[in-house]
Amino acid sequence: MGWIANPLFVGSNPTHHSNKKVIMKIRDLVKRLEDIETSLEKKEDKENYQAVGNLIDEIIEFDIKAEEKIRKEIKKFIDKELEHRLVEEAMCSGSIAQA
């Protein structure tokens, strides 16, 4: 659910020695890690399989918390904007009750 809230900025690819920045969505990153996790499971590499699984869980948890913070900030902004517009309407009409 919350995997698309925040883009993850990944630096240059060390295998290609490029300075080009890549923007990757968390959903895409998690999908790639899940593919690696599946490959490790097939190879019976339990230690790395577990490490990748833990990393996936941490990324998802971080993203969910970040999305919650963003939603709270958006709600605060909308509430302030709505309050501001109501006060403006009241001032124009001459009565807060009419607004």
Per-residue confidence at 23, pLDDT binned at 50, 70, 90? confident
| pTM for this entry | 0.59
Q: How confident is the model at residue 12 (pLDDT cuts 50, 70, 90)?
A: very low
Question: Is the pLDDT reported for residue 95 higher than 80?
Answer: no
Task: Find all residues with CB under 8 Å of 8, minimum gap 6, and list them.
Answer: 23, 24, 25, 26, 29
**H helical segments located in the chain:** 26-42, 46-93
- The per-residue pLDDT for range 31-65, each reduced to its tens digit, is 999 999 999 999 999 999 999 999 999 999 999 99
